[in-house]
Amino acid sequence: MSQRSRLRPQAVSVLLFLAPFILYFPVALGQQIFFDGDISLFYYPLRVELARALSEGRLPFWSPGIMMGFPVFAEGQIEALYPLNQVLYRLLPAYRALGLEMLFHLGWMTLGMYCFVRQLRASRPAAALAALVLMTNGYIMGNLLFPSVLATMAWLPWSLWLYERTLA
């Protein structure tokens, strides 16, 4: 294989970040959403309230429309102060923001795993494979119904990368 036919490291990084957007392209395009189980019963109603509050220029402290009234801001899983959510739910309808939030976290996790495995001095193909396996493994696929778990998992490879980098 010639030098010109190889992908640049930046191109590999971009492709790995975009892999979930490609895999779930109907969600990325806003044609479908992740909507089953806990998403439909818990996360989506909270995200709707978050989007409503942010569009009104306030934080969602209390919602009288959820159950008999619900302390939305006190619920940690809404991630009301998370910078990504501040941007997405302020600018987009809740269904679009939720799908993009989840795809962003899948992409961020995939890219983080690639960087972590490269930090361990593995080859680019091996690191890319590790990243794709992480993105599509059963644990992650099973937790697509739990946006807060996915958001937390997205930072794990980056934490490992930073730890390894600090030791190096």
Query: Which pLDDT tens digit goes with each residue over 129-152?
Result: 999 999 999 999 998 889 999 999
Q: Mean pLDDT across the chain, nearest whole number? A: 91
Nearest to 18 by CA among 114, 143, 119, 151: 114
Nearest to 101 by CA among 37, 158, 41, 50: 50
d(CA 92, CA 31): 14
- Predicted confidence (pLDDT) at residue 7 exceeds the cutoff of 90: no
pLDDT band with cut points at 50, 70 and 90 for residue 4: low
Higher pLDDT, 158 or 3: 158
Highest mean pLDDT among 9-13, 33-37, 117-121: 117-121
Q: For the chain, what percent of residues have pLDDT higher than 90?
A: 73
